[in-house]
Copies of this chain bind each other. A is one copy, B any other.
């Protein structure tokens, strides 16, 4: 199996996948005993897992569970059609790397989320603690790849957690072709400057050591190139490869009993009213707050909509216990409650805010929507903006922020929402609700076509093709 090429991708070199989370996670059974494999969590695994099963690919990831840690001690392990290598870290190393560097510093810098008058405020302890932990984790991944990658392999390194493995690998394994793909936006120079000088230099040098760097849109690629130049580094060759939805997976969800139940519950709740929907992680960059303010403004200015429209917001919690996120969630709840108090009545609750992670219900809401709102401050791609089109059969309209990576592909059919402009967004939602006839149908059909244009297969193939174009690797000099 280790020899099985990714023939479907025209790939004749072995493949190594490197990501924060692995395709499966191991659970130690209640009574103890051998860890059992379960499907891993996260969007990246959903997109890539099915494609890479039984292909002989080696997948290097961090251990997330107690079961994973048992498996990590065994080196490369075969499970569920994958060659898996899990890496276990000390809790301090992991929290420095993951919580403080990835989820805070890097996530904030790439999405532009800091309040610069007060944050960030770096100390040397941060460089010696969390940043050093981040460096150690990247180095451990590089060492695992160096040990386990077959000769001449193509190594696909995923996302912003793992930008600094390449310099080590260029030295220890010059036979490998190194491709990095960023699922987030990339910080332009004026934001990257907010990181400590040492950290931003290592980050750019780390990415710059890949043979190719990929992004969801041209814009993030250009921000990356500009940030390389601002650091005095010649940018590596970049490529643009937007991800698309897994159509088969959506079809299976839509055929499930849970989905059918959720849909009929929604039918009862919405009735013959208009249905505005958003599906988002509760995340600072997603701009929930201004989305609800826009809905409030619409109700304030258009009393004829009272009782005639419902906003269903399916927002699953994230980073609970982190101050900035808890404060944000409280602000969101305050606006939701105010709007419902101000405009609601016993027969009509304007906003149904559902902060529960219920995947079939979220998908059913997208299927039932008349308007889908995706208004992030900044977002790597936003797959919901594509999935909704494939689930929806009601000629729903998309209200989309140009700051979502998906804008590049969907701008022709979307109703633009300027994410900082509450009344402009209110106007976009109202227009999207009201558009009728041919225009409504044309936009909905264009949306469906555009959303289906890119598949996970095509996205993965682009990374492999980029590796083939790479300037190093076996047979090249």
Choose the segment among A30-38, A118-126, A361-369 that binds chain B (4+ C-beta atoms closer than 8 Å): A118-126
Number of copies: 2
Cα separation A142 to B290 with both chains bound (whole Å): 36
* A424 touches B (CB below 8 Å): yes
- Residues from chain B with Cβ under 8 Å of A188 in the complex: 188, 190
Q: Are A297 and B123 in contact (CB under 8 A)?
A: yes
Choose the segment among A52-60, A90-98, A267-275, A415-423 that binds chain B (4+ C-beta atoms closer than 8 Å): A415-423
Q: Are A117 and B420 in contact (CB under 8 A)?
A: no
* A197 touches B (CB below 8 Å): yes
- Residues from chain B with Cβ under 8 Å of A403 in the complex: 193
Q: Are A115 and B112 in contact (CB under 8 A)?
A: no
Q: Are A121 and B197 in contact (CB under 8 A)?
A: no
Q: Are B190 and A120 in contact (CB under 8 A)?
A: no
A345-359 residues at the B interface, CB under 8 angstroms: none
- Residues from chain B with Cβ under 8 Å of A324 in the complex: 117
* A248 touches B (CB below 8 Å): no
Given contacts A193-B403, A196-B424, A197-B424, contact A118 B331 (CB under 8 A): yes
* A191 touches B (CB below 8 Å): yes
* A328 touches B (CB below 8 Å): yes
Cα separation A437 to B424 with both chains bound (whole Å): 61
Identify which of A116, A194, A418, A423 gathers the most chain B CB atoms within 10 Å of its CB.
A116
Q: Are B197 and A377 in contact (CB under 8 A)?
A: no
* A247 touches B (CB below 8 Å): no
A364-402 residues at the B interface, CB under 8 angstroms: 377, 402
Given contacts A188-B188, A188-B190, A190-B190, contact A122 B420 (CB under 8 A): yes
Q: Tell which of B114, B122, B423 touches A422, judged by Cβ atoms closer than 8 Å.
A: B122
Q: Are B122 and A421 in contact (CB under 8 A)?
A: yes
Identify which of A112, A127, A293 gathers the most chain B CB atoms within 10 Å of its CB.
A112
14 new A-B contacts at CB < 8 Å, known A121-B420, A122-B421:
A113-B116, A115-B115, A115-B116, A117-B377, A122-B418, A122-B420, A122-B424, A123-B422, A124-B424, A125-B423, A188-B188, A195-B420, A196-B418, A197-B418
